[in-house]
Structure formats: C-alpha cells, structure tokens
Structure 1
Amino acid sequence: MYTALGLQKKLRSREASVTVVDPQPHMTYQPFLPEAAAGSIEPRHVVVPLRRVLKRCHVLTGRVTKIDHAAKTATVEALDGHIEEVGYDTLVVALGSVARTLPIPGLPERGIAFKTIGEAIYLRNHVLSRLDLASTTDDPELRRRLLTFVVIGGGYAGIEALAELEDMARYATRYYDTLDQKDMRWVLVEAAGRVMPEVRPSLGVYTVKQLEERGIECFLDTRVKSMEDGHVVLDDGTEFDAETIIWTAGVKANPVLANTDLPLDQRGRVLCTAAMQVQGVDNAWAAGDNAAVPDLSKTDEDPAATCSPSAQHAVRQAKQLSKNIVRVLRGGKPRVYTHKYAGSVASLGLYKGVADVYGVKARGFVAWGMHRAYHVSRMPTFNRKVRVAFDWLGAWLFKREVVSLGQINNPKAEFDRVTRG
C-alpha cells in the first residue's frame, strides 16, 4: 500500500497505470493488533481501506496464486472463484509473511494465530466468552480449563498479545461475582532462552519479571510437544489443559513465492539487491517480509545480513521503493535502501511497556507512551491517526470495553434456532 501510495503521488498523469492485488480490501497495521484485541482501539481503525487511499490506482480484490515473470503475467483468483491472468510491465512483490507452523500434534485444530484483524477480533471475543462460560459452570475441571490461556512464542507479537489480553481479562473479572483474577492461569512458552530478541537482553529479563509479577507463568527454553484436544504437553514434562492456545511462534515468507520464477533464498524470500531490485531479473522489485534485502547497517559485521521482517523496515522500504521505480521509469538509477536503526518499543498492557530507542532504554509508563507515540506516527493516513487517538482518549475517560460479541462468529445461530422452532 505504501509503495502504491508513493507511486500515485509521484507519477504524472498517464505516465503509468498502477494495479494493486490483495485478498483483503484493506491494509492492516499489525503493531496495533494487540490493542485492538484488548479493546483499547476500535478494530476498524487499525485497517486502511485501499480504495479510499489509492484513488489513482486500480484495486483488485483477489489472491495471487502464481507469477510468471518471464511472461509478465500474474495469476489471480478472484473472490467469486474465477481465475484471471493480469499482465504487467513492472512487478512489485509485497506478499508479506504468514504464520510459521511446526508439526505439533493438535496445532491445526487448537491453535489460534495472531496475524490478521479477524483473528484479533476473534481472540477478544473468545477470551471474554471463556470468562462468561467459567462464571456459569459448577464443574471445577471445566472451569480450570476455560480459564487457562496459553501463548506460544515470545517475540513481539506473542509478548504484546499476551500482555494486552491478560490485562483486559484481569480488568474484566471485576464485573463477575463468581470470578477472581487469581482464578485465571496465563502461560507463555518460548523455545529460546529469552524473549523479544530485538531488544537488549536486560529489557528481555525485565519483561519476563514484569509478566511473572502479574502471575503469568513463563517457560523459556521450552517447546510444546503436543496440544491435542487442548491438552498441552511441554518437553520439560509439564502438562495441563487449556481452552485457549495462541500461536505466535514466528513468521515465514508467503508460500505463494514458491509458485513463481523469481530467485529465492533458503528461507523462501525473494533475493534482492540493496536497491530492492530482484537479483538477476529486470523490472521486478520486492520489499517487506517476503524480501531478502541486504541490511547495509550490518554488512561490516555480517556480509550476508538481511533486513528483519518488521513493520519498521517494511514502511521505510516501501517509501524508498516507490522513488526507485519512478527513477528507473524516467531513465535514472535506483538508490540503495539504507536505514539507521531507530530501536524497538513494546506494550506490556495499559500504562506498561519497554523501549530501546537510539540506545536509550526505558521501562514502565514512559516506554508505554513512547510505544503509542511511535506507532500512531507511523499509522497510515491522517484519518486513522485521529481515530486511533480518539479511541485512546475514550478508553482513558470511560475505561475499556469488555463486552464479548461472540455472536459474530456464528451470526445465524439465533435465527436458525427460532426458525426451527
């Protein structure tokens, strides 16, 4: 979206035609998914409608299933199921990433990913509905299972999802006469020996301590062996039942890339130059999570270093990419993508966070404020920046909303019950 936005601003009238193909009619700002799931931000405000902002582009809602760059065509499956071939002169591959899965028994059936706005809304309703169910049952085993929540993966997505959802659920228990905060069990499982490798180790240690002080169990250097029927088995011998299992154990490049004639690295990403041109291929570019773009800030230490899959890189690359494409179209030369590492910020729930920005580390309320300030500044469009800010103001004045709208998962259930008598 950012690349197309830059192109429509820089290209002259009739100089080129820009077509954007995406299975969703919007772009999701993923760093705000945890707050959307926790009720601090309205879910609609963390997505940007493509047709509204890309007024000079053609937006095609469909899924790319194949790219034949030699023939300059992309195969697109439209929403109604029909297949069409879309021709092009210049290709930009920005397919992003998908959840990385492992062959763990029960994962496909029990795991809930955290990559889309739909999954964020589902998780919010799911967690609150578990509280509703637990408050009405007399079965202690079922109650314990309903109130056990597991997050697998200690990267940014996992830590923020865990912290925000636990914060929301703990706040919600005040409205239940039969529930107490101590009735809930929240568990983090991470295969590595630390969480959030993007920040300095001391902040990772601080994050774990903060989570443990809130009663969250943190299993580091631990792997999940099985989760069949919600029965979680860890490789250290720990076993328990959980009704909610959230999977955030990393990402991988979109598997559609395997169905292209573009050069890929060992991780399935498109091989690119530092200017984001696809290596050895004319008129093809790539950026974001699906692109192996050399990280020039680290090449002195590691010549093979590539940019990490993060929103920070994706947004910056897209802006540089649109400029490079225009330069090449007009006979110029592209410029390499360089960046100065700004740092990292993470929310640990309302008024809590960690930050490591330009070598300065912060914790608690200050870090939480830095997290919000940074991400609202990066949120696309002034419209969405204002809406997010007003959501925060409303949540501060009137407290967060903790109502479950689980009916949206099966909206016809009540009507079907009535019509069947």
Structure 2
Amino acid sequence: MSRPRIVIVGAGFAGYRTARRLSRQARGRADVTLLNPTDHFLYLPLLPQVAAGILEPRRVTVSLSGTLRDVRPVLGEADRVDLEAGTVHYTDPEGSTGTLTYDRLVLSVGSVNKLLPIPGVAEHAHGFRGLPEALYLRDHVTRQIELATAADDPKAAAARCTFVVVGAGYTGTEVAAQMQMYTDRMTRRRPLPGGVRPRWLLLDVAPRVLPELDERLSRTADRVLRQRGVEVRMGTSVREATHDGVLLTDGGFVESRTLVWCVGVRPDPLVEGIGRPLERGRLIVDPYLQVPGHPEVFACGDAAAVPDLERPGEFTPMTAQHAWRQGRVAAGNVVASLGAGERRPYRHRDLGFAVDLGGTQAAADPFGLPLSGLPAGLVTRGYHLAALPAGRARVVADWLLDAVLPRQAVQLGLVRSWSVPLDTASPELARVPGAPEQPHAHHLSPGPVTRADIPAEGDS
C-alpha cells in the first residue's frame, strides 16, 4: 500500500514549522511535499537590517532542501485548491502548471500587502514584504543620497533626502529606525549641499507608534525615533502620492521621491477561492486547526482564523509568532490524524514583545518586564538568534563586522523599480492586495526556542 500524501502549501513561518516537524514526526509514515514559490524560508524580522546594509541577504534565508530532511520541495505558486478532488493546482516559476494530490493538506499561504484606494500610492509607493523590496529600498535610498550630493539646487537635494514611511506598526517603525541610521552614516562622509540633512517621516492614523503593543514599549520607540530626528506624525496619513511628493491628510505637502508602504497585510487571496467560511479573509478552522467539514484539511498562520482559547469569541491575531506556534500544532495533529499520537488544540501564552530600533536601541518586555536601551537590544538580538533555524554564526559575524567597520553604501542594481510594484504582494514574488491591517509583531515565545524552532513577520 502507498503511504499517505501530505501536501503543505506555503513555506512561511507556519508552513516551514509544519514541514520541519513533519520531517521528523512523519518520517516513514507519509510522503511530505512542500509547495512554495521560492527554495527558501525567509526570516522576515531581520529584513530591515538587510535594507540597512547590516546583514547580507542570504543571512535571512533558510534553504528548504538543506534543512527539511525527507520533505520534497516543489517550486510553484498555488493557483487553486479543489477540496472535493483532493488536489492543489499550481504554476511553477517558468509558467508550467502542475497538480499535487493529497490525503492531508496544510494551508499556510500567509498574507499579502494591504493596498488602500489612495490616488497615486500603487504607482509611487513600494512595500516591504520580501528580499526584492528590501534590496530595492537600499539601492533607492542610496541613489537618492548620491544624487542629492551632486545636486546644485539645495531644494532638489532636500526633496531627494526626504523619506516617508507610512505605517507605524512593527515593520514601519523598524524600517524608519534602521534606515535613518543608514542615511545618517552616509551623509557624515558625504556632505549634502546647503546644509541639507536626511529627513525621515513616520506616518500613521493611529494615536501612537506601535499601537498594537504595550504603551510603555510604544513610548520607548517614540522617544528613540524622535531623539534621532525622525518626524513621528500620528493621526496623519497620505491623501495622494505623486512623483514629486505626498499630500498628507492634514493638508500639508511633503516633497519627496520615496514612499515606503508598511500599512499592513491581508490573508492571501487563495483562501477566498476555496469556498469555505471566512473571517475577514481568513479561513475559519476549529481549535485543532482543521477546516470544518474537511477534517483532512488543516490551515494555520495568516491564512487561518484560529479560535483564541485565551479570549473566547475572538481569533488569534495575524502575527508570525502565532504562525510559528500553530505550525507545530498543525504538524502534530496531522500525524495524529494518521493514527500516531493524540491531537491537541492550539493554545498560546504571550510572554512579551521585542522591537529592534537599530544600534543598541530596542524596546522589549520579556515576561512583562519593560526594557529599553542596551538590555532590550541584547534581549532582542538574543531572541532572533534563538529563533533562526540556521545560519546564526553568519548573522553574528555580520553584526560584529557592522560594529567595527563602516557599511558599504553602494548600489547593487539587482532589483529594478518595475519589478517590485506595490500592487504585487507575495512575500517574495507577486500578487494582488487589499484588506484589514494586521501587525507582524514579534512575540517572545513561551519557553525557550530550540535550535530547531523559530518565530516572528512574514511577511508570514
């Protein structure tokens, strides 16, 4: 008799964790296939450090074939899931189509950018959901500083050196913090005409920075950003984006050539076509992560509306930490459905958050203890090292080199503007956006994160 076929769709935090657990728990019991557009898992929380030139791009990637023993990776983008036929239809990177047949299915397709109907945003803004966007942002910001340095007109130079980040959640706050330090270092060695200095604006309609986090962490992040010179404008967003700048909702106009869109994400549209009940675009599952009426189908991560057993009547938020934990439970329940072990419901306990603000600055509250400055920085970086499934030594090496050597502020030219439009949104490839914002904050995991484990955004 042939062994059961398990298909996992998506290698974000939930999918990768599911595959990692199944590579051990289902060995010899089932054939496991992982469908994903790329050959790696992307550790989204460190992406701002890639954009700022602290980490090399491959440091935040984890090879699927190199870390998932006895799991067959298939490169492709899922197009359609047929629950009645038990099949997943996909398109590979070269445009060919294929079909995967399953006995157990784990949907962990994650999320895509949220795009609001604001004039000019789709044409002039860029998101921050994957390596291409991080590399593009670094090149773009570097280019603006270099063009401003050579400009004869201080006004034109000031426009090029004005950078607008929309969304003061986890991603936007870290991007503004890290990139402000990057441009500050650049201009120390390359004076700008007319005494112009880089200007960073962080906008959000929320009343405070990091509105989804504890107010003490919010105040810490706000203070650090303002001390560095970042203009934090709460209760303000973009009314219209143009080539020459952005019109704000308060009526002001900011001349700029850079608009970074970090306003949130929505569940991948793939789940809408499955034809099962949704909650704000997420596939409703039971506490065991199974789709009602289809016990052979599991869903976890941003694509799943998982009941929050700690808050009856609510669903767990779309955070990478929840996705990571749900992946572990999904793997165990899939194996239990094959007759090994007992299934268990998804239950969580938050032990805090960690936000890297660049340099030695961070905000964290492990076990509810609010920290800032160097102690928070150590906790945050230690958390990321514990969370990374592989490549820790290389990450530490890059951190040490960044501490003692100047960063190389050069354009690589690997990613062009047209290849990372905002209205495409898969973490690393392309798709269409729209829907409610959900933060990708980093929860500190309950209990130690082992070397085989991981948490965190996406990103998801």
Q: How does the TM-score come out when normalised to structure 1?
A: 0.92
Quick check: 1:268 aligned with 2:281? Answer: yes
Change over 3 Å in CA distance of 1:407–1:50 after alignment to 2 = closer
Q: Which protein, 1 or 2, shows the higher relative CO under an 8 Å CA cutoff with sep ≥ 6?
A: 2
Residue from 76, 82, 91 that aligns with 1:77? 91
Do 1:174 and 1:180's aligned partners in 2 also have CA atoms closer than 8 Å? no
CA–CA distance in structure 2, aligned partners of residues 5 and 181 of structure 1:
53
Higher helix share: 1
For 1:284, what is the secondary structure of its paired residue? strand
CA–CA distance in structure 2, aligned partners of residues 143 and 390 of structure 1:
35
Do 1:163 and 1:349's aligned partners in 2 also have CA atoms closer than 8 Å? yes
1:143 matched residue in structure 2: 157
Change over 3 Å in CA distance of 1:88–1:181 after alignment to 2 = farther
Which deviates the most, 226-235 or 154-163? Answer: 226-235
Q: Which amino acid aligns with 2:62?
A: V
For 2:109, what is the secondary structure of its paired residue? coil
Count of matched residue positions in the alignment of Structure 1 and Structure 2: 402
Q: Which amino acid aligns with 2:253?
A: E
CA–CA distance in structure 2, aligned partners of residues 12 and 373 of structure 1:
32
1:356 matched residue in structure 2: 365
Do 2:157 and 2:196's aligned partners in 1 also have CA atoms closer than 8 Å? no
Do 1:353 and 1:367's aligned partners in 2 also have CA atoms closer than 8 Å? yes
Quick check: 1:367 aligned with 2:376? Answer: yes
- Percent identity for Structure 1 against Structure 2: 35
Q: What is the Cα deviation at residue 70 of structure 1?
A: 1.3
Q: Aligned runs of 1:73-152 on 2, under 5 Å?
A: 73-152=87-166
Do 2:180 and 2:200's aligned partners in 1 also have CA atoms closer than 8 Å? yes
Q: What is the Cα deviation at residue 280 of structure 1?
A: 2.8
Quick check: 1:342 aligned with 2:374? Answer: no
Q: Aligned runs of 1:2-401 on 2, under 5 Å?
A: 2-13=17-28, 15-178=29-192, 183-265=197-279, 267-297=280-310, 299=311, 303-330=312-339, 332-381=341-390, 384-401=391-408
CA–CA distance in structure 1, aligned partners of residues 218 and 259 of structure 2:
23
CA–CA distance in structure 2, aligned partners of residues 400 and 241 of structure 1:
28
Deviations 1:336-395 (A, max 9, x none): 1112202101011111111122110011111111111111101113xx112111111221
5+ unaligned residues in a row in structure 2: which ranges? 1-15, 418-460
For 2:176, what is the secondary structure of its paired residue? helix
For 1:193, what is the secondary structure of its paired residue? coil
CA–CA distance in structure 2, aligned partners of residues 180 and 286 of structure 1:
56
Do 1:8 and 1:56's aligned partners in 2 also have CA atoms closer than 8 Å? yes
CA–CA distance in structure 2, aligned partners of residues 177 and 134 of structure 1:
10
Deviations 1:240-260 (A, max 9, x none): 121110000011101121121
2:441 matched residue in structure 1: none
Q: What is the Cα deviation at residue 180 of structure 1?
A: 8.8
Do 2:33 and 2:73's aligned partners in 1 also have CA atoms closer than 8 Å? yes
CA–CA distance in structure 1, aligned partners of residues 194 and 140 of structure 2:
18
Q: Which amino acid aligns with 2:90?
A: V
Q: Which amino acid aligns with 2:179?
A: L
CA–CA distance in structure 1, aligned partners of residues 291 and 351 of structure 2:
26
Deviations 1:130-185 (A, max 9, x none): 11111011123321211010000010000001100111111111221436985211
5+ unaligned residues in a row in structure 1: which ranges? 411-421
CA–CA distance in structure 1, aligned partners of residues 208 and 27 of structure 2:
50
Q: Which amino acid aligns with 1:296?
A: L
For 2:163, what is the secondary structure of its paired residue? strand
CA–CA distance in structure 1, aligned partners of residues 226 and 63 of structure 2:
39
CA–CA distance in structure 2, aligned partners of residues 240 and 40 of structure 1:
29
Do 1:199 and 1:356's aligned partners in 2 also have CA atoms closer than 8 Å? no
Change over 3 Å in CA distance of 1:238–1:4 after alignment to 2 = same
CA–CA distance in structure 1, aligned partners of residues 115 and 59 of structure 2:
29
Change over 3 Å in CA distance of 1:285–1:207 after alignment to 2 = same
Which deviates the most, 145-154 or 198-207? Answer: 198-207
CA–CA distance in structure 2, aligned partners of residues 176 and 394 of structure 1:
22
CA–CA distance in structure 1, aligned partners of residues 92 and 169 of structure 2:
34
